[in-house]
Structure 1
Amino acid sequence: MEDALQRLLDEAAIKKVQLRYCRGIDRMDWELVRSCYHPDAIDDHGEYVGGIDGFIEYCKAGCPNFVSTTHFTGNQLVEVDGDTAWAEHYARAYHRVAAQPGGPEKDLVVNTRYIDRYERRGGEWRITRRVVVVDTDRVDPVLERWVPEEQLRSRRDRSDPSYLPA
């Protein structure tokens, strides 16, 4: 029973790393993203393959090109084996692109999977190797909106309402 409980706690901790990663990317909170990886981790996003410092620089260069990003995590399969684990996180990511002259805003929509290796070091689970697999993608023109502008309170930094005390 104790082993089963520890496995559930480990799985929950690993799933939370993925959720923190998504929040970090969407809020462009690079220290939060960094906290999801061990310092010697490798990230393979296809276009970028390398260490965490380079990955954060890659994100700093690319993410501001979007009006917003939203990552939804769905199915999460986690297999724990002592102080190592394998996980596959399914996700759908939306990337809003500003309108270009004569055209509408666009949503770049990606169905993706994060295939990860985790290690527990010093009692903390973090990613040691991440491979991002794109299953499908599409581009949706934003032809119409229904939320009033004053309700769009999302911010891509620590001024976002999610960082304010409850």
Structure 2
Amino acid sequence: MTDIQNFIDEALIRNVHLRYCRGVDRLDWDLVRSCYHPDATDEHGSYSGGIDGFIAWISAGLPRFESTTHFTGNQLVEVTGDIAWAEHYAIVSHRRGATAAEPAADLIVNVRYIDRMERRDGEWRIGKRVVIADSEKLETIEGSWLNLAHLQPSRRDRTDYSYER
């Protein structure tokens, strides 16, 4: 493999992970699904199994949060032919809305996504994903300092401004 092809493959694999993060944060299950091969598995906290079950699991749980944000940092990718290993560090924030009993809070988890990537029919996708939680914390939200009314509203679906091209 040439250095240029290796560089391209690494970029394509990193892009799969970024598309996954976007899909989860926008609740775009088709985009999430496009990141996995149909026979892929995901070990993700209390869920372990195939992609259909994984999407059913996250689509039931994630909408209860007001928002989620995946902030990706280090991405190490090692390509060997049509198989690659990737480790993606991320800080994942889940905003829980206020209730009568509790104030709003952010659940913040430092995770690593460990992926076996496979190129099939010229396309890189996840073959197996294992999520490792390195640490977590819960931060209570006290007040607000930013007037969100002055910004484009965030939406967790395809009406979000990021889908306009």
- TM-score, structure 1 normalization: 0.96
Distance in 2 (alpha carbons) for counterparts of 1:103 and 1:143: 11
Matching residue of 2:129: 130
Cα offset for 1:102? 4.2
Report what 2:159 is aligned to: 159
Cα gap change, 1:113/1:14 in structure 2, threshold over 3 Å: closer, same or farther?
same
Equivalence for 1:15: 14
Equivalent residue number for residue 76 of structure 1: 75
Q: Secondary structure at the match of 1:119?
A: strand
Aligned equivalent of 1:87: 86
Q: Which runs of 4+ in 1 moved over 3 A?
A: none
> Structure 2: how far apart are the matches of 1:111 and 1:145?
24
Secondary structure class of the residue paired with 1:134: strand
Q: Call closer, same or farther: CA 1:152–1:113 in 2, change over 3 Å.
A: same
Q: Alpha-carbon deviation of 1:152? A: 6.0
State the Cα distance separating 1:104 from its structure 2 match.
1.5
**How high is the TM-score relative to the length of structure 2?**
0.97
Aligned mates of 2:20, 2:145 — CA distance in 1: 29
The 5 Å alignment of 1:1-166 reads: 3-150=2-149, 151=151, 153-165=153-165
Could you tell me how far apart the structure 1 residues matched to 2:10 and 2:85 are?
A: 10
Output the amino acid matched with 2:65: F
CA apart distance, 1:3: 0.5
Paired letter, 1:157: D
**Cα gap change, 1:104 to 1:152, in 2 (>3 Å):** farther
- Cα deviation, 1:67-87, whole Å, max 9, x if unaligned, reads 000000100000000000000
**Letter aligned with residue 12 of structure 1:** A
Among all aligned residue pairs of Structure 1 and Structure 2, give the percentage whose two residues are the same amino acid.
59
Q: Following TM superposition, by how much is the alpha carbon of 1:65 offset from its aligned partner in structure 2, in angstroms?
A: 0.8
Instruction: Determine the C-alpha separation between the residues in 1 that align with 2:155 and 2:95.
Output: 13
Distance apart, 1:111 and its partner CA: 0.2
Distance in 1, matches of 2:22 and 2:58, equals 13
Deviation at 1:149, TM superposition (A): 3.4
- Structure 1: give runs of 5+ residues left out of the alignment: none
RMSD: 1.0
